[in-house]
Chain A
Amino acid sequence: MRVLEPLIGLGKGLWVTLRSMFEKPVTVQYPEHKKPVKPRFRGRHVLKRYENGLEKCIGCALCAAACPADAIFVESAENNDGQRFSPGERYASTYEINMLRCIYCGFCEDACPTEAIVLGDNYELSFTDRRQAIYPKEMLIDPVPAGIQTTPQRTEPGRFTRSVPAMKDPQD
């Protein structure tokens, strides 16, 4: 009955939609259930620390130079053994990222000589005004691990002279 093809086609289409009514919904109920992000997901930035609590960031501003959106502002200051924030000579006294400008390209991550800045897995950024979109260093930096003294630390002279640690090539 090829003549009835228009009708059969219509029926087939209706059957497909009716059948899909009884499938399990694919919806993820977002605030209650969150899907884990993918391993290479680029979310909000995190400033990392070494295990001893010192900041990895040395205030070189290479990330700011690499940033295509000009979202990063870095100001550095001198370290000394009485008040040490990071290994080597300098640390970032101010580190701000404007989250409205950031395009999450990850160039800052690539530019960083100490692997201090990493794009994390937090994608829930929300602000109610433009000032709030500028994340200062206190919001970006990792909390100090338990039992470790926070920065600035008092360190013995001559121990942290090298600002960029000896590193292997990145694996991923």
Chain B
Amino acid sequence: MPAIEILGLEKTYMVGFWRKRPKCALSPLHLTVEDGEIFGFLGPNGAGKTTTLKLLMGLVFPTSGTARILGHEWTDPSVKAQIGFLPEQPYFYDYLTAHELLEYYGQLSGVPAKQRKQRVEQVLQQVGLRDVKGVQLRKFSKGMLQRVGIGQAILHNPKLVFFDEPMSGLDPMGRREVRDLMEQLKHEGKTVFFSTHILSDAEALCDRVAIIHRGELRGVGAIEDLTSSVQGKVEVIWQGSQVPASIKALGAEIRVTPDRVRAIIDESQQDAVIDALRRERQRLVAITPVRTSLEAYFVEKLRHAETSVGSKA
């Protein structure tokens, strides 16, 4: 059973003074997220990522379409006990302490009183806020609030967690911790659906990703599939800063750094390059196939979308 099935969810806002001008925030979206995977929902700012998440959370109502979460209608209130949600740039009741806030959310999520206290302590420890659990949230930094947000999303041990830009506002250490946490959630058998525009995060974490732009789905698939379009080229790296003339003659794309040389060549030229390096007594460091990065795939999809919009106009 898929964790999420989005069946043509669409959202159009009526804008303007008289609210007569339609503005499409999300074109009919069809998407399936499998149970137990980390799914990245990628797109530039204003692409429709947050709208999709708000629709799934029941915060805005769709113009048409439906969805199923964990096998139930997404509007079924019982579903919400099994999902966690971290909104983008979260803001919480700042008159509460982190402990009080989690306690309150635990109450609302129906965590039994006996387990609640223990669970709150456990989550505070997990997100690294145990030492400041008695401090009011108004004194928290942006990064600390993000940690509180992650804590409240996983507090009630949900089967499915939605994170909207979870790395936003976090320092490198914090980002690393969130990555580890997501991997841990996956290891526990939970499904993680997260939106981001930071592609390196998605590349490092996700089993599959979807790319959305201007409210339309532009591509979906496993990271390996999207990035495996090898262009028949390999990257050769060797130590030093000398480039043998025979390699230059091959017309390779060469980048020289103070201690290394990187050359991108056709696969068919690989043996000739290795021979040349041996002859010149250069030390080979690595030979790796060139893969299309997720970033390249992403940019290509966005460019393609821009071109099709331009040609329609």
Q: Verify that A and B bind, or say they do not.
A: no
Chain B interface (Cβ < 8 Å from any Cβ of A): none
